[in-house]
Structure 1
Amino acid sequence: PIARKCTVHLLGTGLPSFYVADLGPLSFTLGLSGWTANDWSRAGNFDLMAPRADVDDLTKRRVFDALKRSWCDTPDELSKHLDLDRRVVFGALAAYTQAGRVMFDLNKQVFRARELSREPLPMEQLRFANEREAGATRFIESNAVTLTERRLDTAGHLHLSGRIQLNDKLINLRLTLDRDERLSNADCPCNWHKQNKLYQGPCEHLLALRMQHVR
C-alpha cells in the first residue's frame, strides 16, 4: 500500500468526517459528509459552527500579514507574536478562510496562507453565509438578545445562556463553545433546532446568542 497510515477525524454525529492518509513526503485529506441531504459542502452550514468573533479590519490584516510571513502557523503562536487574544486571532483566521485566502491544514493542525484567486473575494457580498446568519444579525440590531449567563468550565469550554424576544414570545436557549470557539453543543426550542439539532448548522437564535457574546 502507498499510505503508511490513515487518521480519521470524527466531528460528531451527523457532522462531516475527515480521513488523512500519510503518504510519506505528502499527505492526502478526504472530507466526507454524513449524507447528501446535509450538503455540508454548501456555504453556510459548516461555516456557522466555526469561530465568529467580530474583528476589525486592521487587526484582521495584522493576523493575515503575520501568517503570510511564516506561510503557516498555529493560532497560539500568532496570538503570542502579535500580543492578541486567541479568540481574536481565530476570528480573523476564520474570516480569511471564508474569503478564500487562508486554509486549515488538518494533518499539521496549522493555518496556511493560500490565495484561491488573484483578486480577493467580495467579502461584502459574502457577509452572510446564509439566511440564518442574516436573521441572527437582525435580532442583534433590534436589541432582542439578552445574555443571561456566561460560564467557563474546567475543560475550557464556555457555556452561554440567554433569551431572545420573538414578537410577543420570549425563548430561552443555551450553547457551548469549545476552546477553539467552535459550537459543540446547544439547545433551542425553535422548530429548526428541534428538527435538525446541529446536523445542518445552528439556528438563527443560537447564532444571535453567540454574536451577542462577542459584541
Structure 2
Amino acid sequence: MKHQIDSGRSLGIFDKEYQYKRPESAATGGKLYWNLDDESATESELAEQMDFPLVSIAMAYDGFDELDMAQIKPLMASLPLFETVYKALAERDQRDPASWKPTGHGQVLMRNATNTVKSHSGRGLMRMLAEEMMRRSAAEGFRGIQIETISGAVEKVWSNPPAPFKATIIGQFHTTTFEETNVTGEVSYPFRPANVNVTKIFVDLRSSNSCSD
C-alpha cells in the first residue's frame, strides 16, 4: 500500500464536511486508532477507530515500478488464496508480454485495491474514482490500465469504461468452479463457498487502438 501511495498514482475522495470524533485527530488531519493486536475487533469497532475524512480510495502504481515481492509475503501469509488468484489469472493471460508490459514510466498503470467506507457506500464513489483515474492517466500519456477484480461491481465498472476508452477481459474464472489437483490426483475447490467472478481487465486509453493483439 505504501508503494502505491508513494507512487503518486492513487486517488481518494475526501469528505470536506467531516466532523472529527476526537480533537487529537483534527490536529493531524486525521488519525487511525486500530489496535493491530486485537484480533476480535468487529467491523463496527474498526470503523469507529477510523477518524479521518478519506471516504473512498483507488490504489494504483506505475507498472514500470514493480511491486517488491518480499514486501508482499506477509499479505500472502495472511491471505493464502491471494497468490492463487494472481497465479490463476496469469495462467489465463494469453497475451505476448511485449504487447502490453511497460518499457518505461508513464505507459501502463496497475490498479490494485479499492474501498469505500460503509457510511458512504452506494453513492457511486468507486465508479467516480475509476473514471477519473482513466481520464487523468490518458491525459498524462498512459496507454493503458490493468486491474484484477474480485468484486462484481468493480468488474462491471472497469469492463464498461466511458468512451473513448476500451476494455478487454484478459482472463477470468469463477470461484465456485475453480479447481486444483494435487500430486495424488485429488481435486479440490479452494475458493468455495465464495461465489464471485474473478477477472483481469485491461483498459486501453488510446481511442484508436485495441489492447488485444
With the length of structure 1 as denominator, give the TM-score of the two structures.
Answer: 0.27
With the length of structure 2 as denominator, give the TM-score of the two structures.
Answer: 0.28
Q: Highest Rg: 1 or 2?
A: 2
